[in-house]
């Protein structure tokens, strides 16, 4: 624990509230005791821009912004103020933004850096919950249990035995993980315990994980992963390089009976290629927490029992948001009351940052 400074005045923090009362008790207490909280209450991003530009508005003089609550949670889920005109309107007094979540694709890191604002995400706070859902979808892609449940709930008259044509046990099958990070290693440990073989593709090998998990193998050529995997799990970051990483051509490199699970970003998988592989019978199981055109779904995917689709809920667990709040408050405390040294994702872009 750091030795906290004594400040003459509490730092002023713009806080994004959430309708659901989910908090890490100690962190919530610290936030309210050590900082002057101003609740965000704008009805739109445009209203925020208008209010933030007022010389003596309610947001004037804020030192930091804290969005430790669920980014997509009500009532401000659709409001993203860390890019575009909204980011330009953030008061000049702001030195730090702390936000929940692993990703920051809706944050203009360069723009914030140009304004001298550090941006901190909440890495590894959703890793376990996301990994749990990934394992669930891997099992679903082999056993079609969501279809079986749908059969019961809808009192279906379909012949349920048709799933035996394609249902298989995961044991002794090969799982290919693209992007073996914090989430991936949780999945690898669990799937290894289920008797699966694990291979992975990364920018760099992870020898520490290979020493831990027997048989874990790094494949530097992603085509080799496609060739040997019975189920492919996507956990890689989204970028222009990974857009449509899974496409018509990559399916040609996969097995005749392959499964696919996407826990990363929807645009990494080309939906048209998925539909084609399903209709050809090559893709015999799939699980998607994210899809290319979410929340719109093609009927050819929705009606196919081989596919399980979730509404982007990989991180949705109470512990995720408690850990996110804890991480956000730790960064606030370290920046204002500690030595100021925090792991901001855009720190390298700020010339004046220590």
| Among 210, 244, 294, 300, the one annotated catalytic | 294
Active site residue 72: no
Yes or no: say if 86 and 56 are a contact pair by the CB < 8 Å rule: no
> What is the distance between the terminal CA atoms of the chain, rounded to a whole angstrom?
21
β-pair partners for 176: 199, 232
Half-sphere exposure of 271 (CA within 13 A, CB side): 17
Out of 102, 265, 325, 330, pick the active-site residue.
265
Cα angle vertex 327, ends 325, 329, to 5°?
70
Query: Do you know the residue count of the chain?
Result: 354
- Is 279 catalytic? The answer is no
Selected catalytic residue, list 53, 115, 189, 312 = 312
Question: Are the C-beta atoms of residues 333 and 98 closer than 8 Å to each other?
Answer: no
50 in active site: no
Taking alpha carbons only, the member of 69, 85, 75 closest to residue 41 is 75
DSSP code per residue over 105-168: TTS-HHHHHHTT-EEE--TTSSHHHHHHHHHHHHHHHHH-HHHHHHHHHTT--S-GGGGGGT--
| Structure token pair of residue 84 | 């575009």
Q: Tell me the HSE value of 80 on the side-chain side, using a 13 A CA sphere.
A: 11
- Paired with 283 in beta bridges are 258
**Strand order, beta sheet including 231-234:** 217-218, 197-201, 174-178, 231-234, 258-262, 283-288, 307-309
Q: How far apart are CA 325 and CA 70, in angstroms?
A: 10
- Asked whether the beta carbons of 117 and 97 are under 8 A apart, the reply is yes
> In the chain, count of helices (H) and strands (E)?
13, 12
Q: Is residue 38 within a helix (H) or strand (E), and if so which, with residue range?
A: strand 36-39
Burial (0-12, 13-18, 19+ Cβ within 10 Å), 264: buried
So which residues are the catalytic ones?
265, 294, 312
């Amino acid at each position: 624990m750091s030795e906290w400074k004594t400040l003459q005045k509490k730092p002023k923090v713009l806080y994004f509230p959430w309708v659901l009362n989910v908090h890490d008790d100690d962190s919530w207490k610290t936030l309210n005791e050590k900082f002057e909280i101003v609740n965000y209450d704008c009805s739109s991003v445009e209203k925020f821009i208008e209010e933030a530009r007022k010389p003596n508005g309610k947001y004037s003089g804020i030192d930091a912004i804290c969005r430790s609550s669920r980014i997509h949670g009500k009532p401000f889920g659709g409001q993203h103020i860390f890019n575009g005109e909204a980011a330009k309107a953030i008061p000049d007094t702001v030195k730090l933004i702390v936000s929940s979540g692993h990703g920051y694709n809706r944050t203009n890191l360069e723009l914030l850096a140009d304004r001298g604002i550090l941006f901190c995400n909440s890495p590894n706070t959703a890793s376990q919950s996301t990994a749990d859902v990934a394992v669930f979808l891997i099992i679903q892609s082999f056993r079609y249990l969501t279809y079986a449940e749908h059969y019961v709930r809808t009192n279906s008259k379909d012949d349920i035995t048709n799933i035996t044509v394609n249902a298989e046990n995961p044991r002794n099958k090969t799982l290919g993980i693209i992007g073996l990070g914090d989430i991936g290693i949780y999945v690898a440990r669990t799937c290894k315990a289920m008797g699966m073989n694990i291979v992975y593709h990364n920018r760099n090998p992870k020898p520490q994980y290979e020493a831990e998990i027997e048989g874990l193998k790094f494949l530097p050529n992603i085509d080799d992963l496609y060739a040997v995997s019975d189920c492919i799990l996507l956990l890689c970051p989204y970028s222009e390089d990974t857009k449509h990483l899974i496409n018509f051509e990559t399916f040609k490199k996969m097995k005749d009976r392959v499964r696919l699970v996407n826990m990363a970003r929807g645009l990494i998988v080309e939906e048209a290629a998925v539909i084609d592989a399903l209709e050809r019978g090559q893709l015999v199981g799939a699980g998607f927490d994210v899809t290319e055109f979410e929340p719109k779904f093609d009927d050819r995917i929705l009606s196919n029992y081989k596919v399980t689709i979730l509404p982007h809920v990989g991180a949705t667990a109470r512990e995720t948001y408690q850990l996110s709040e804890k991480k956000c408050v730790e960064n606030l405390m370290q920046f204002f009351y500690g030595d100021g040294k925090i792991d901001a994702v855009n720190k390298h872009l700020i010339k004046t940052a220590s």
